[in-house]
Amino acid sequence: MTFSYDKLWKLIIDKKMNKTQLRDCAGITSSTLSRLSKNETVSMEALGRICKILECDICDIVEYVTEKEVVKNVR
């Protein structure tokens, strides 16, 4: 199971925010931010906090990527 947080990074750029500001405003840990940066899984609580701060829905920040898409993008 693979997730992509590319939408999150685009959204924070649009909102003129950086990752450190996101971490501080959402009250998430540095390790959670690191996991997001590596497209690893994080808790729904952390995603909920991010959605609250950015005033968005979860589909605006995370996307499920199938294994086929991952392999295709690697090539």
Q: What is the pTM of this model?
A: 0.84
Q: 48-74 pLDDT, tens per residue? A: 999 999 999 999 999 999 876 555 555
Q: Are 62 and 3 in contact (CB under 8 A)?
A: yes
Instruction: Calculate mean pLDDT across residues 42-51.
Output: 97
pLDDT of residue 20: 97
What are the b/e assignments for 31-64, b being 16+ CB within 10 Å? ebbebbeeeeebeeebbebbbebbeeeeeebbbe
pLDDT of residue 38: 96
pLDDT of residue 72: 57
